[in-house]
Amino acid sequence: MAWADVLGSEDAVSNTCIWEYDNAATAADTYLDANGITASGIRTFTPTGGNAQKIYVKVRKKGETTERGELNKNYYDAKI
C-alpha cells in the first residue's frame, strides 16, 4: 500500500497537495454496489449517455490517518 498525492489538490499558499489516495486500493475498499472497475486505487465507470467517471476510492488528507471516503478524479484532473 502506498499513498500518493492527488494532483490538482494543491494548497494555494504552500503549493503542496492537500489530499492523497491509496494507489493499492481495490474494489473491496469501496461500496459493495459501486459501479465500474477498480484498478490502482481508481474506480472507473461510464453512466448511460455520460462521460467516463474516475473516482479515487480511498483518500485521506495529507498528514492524517483518518480515511475520508472518495474523491472525484475528473474534478482534480481538470484543475491541473
Residues of the domain holding 23 = 3-78
* Cα 71 from chain centroid (whole Å): 5
Reduced to 3 states (helix: H, G, I; strand: E, B; else coil), residue 44 is: strand
Say what the pLDDT of residue 24 is: 97
pTM for the full model? 0.92
Say what the pLDDT of residue 67 is: 96
Neighbour tally for 42: CB within 10 Å? 16
User: What are residue 76's phi and psi, to 5 degrees?
Assistant: -70, -30
Number of domains in the chain: 1
Per-residue pLDDT of the chain (80 residues; tens, 9 = 90+): 699 999 999 999 999 999 999 999 999 999 999 999 999 999 999 999 999 999 999 999 999 999 999 999 999 999 99
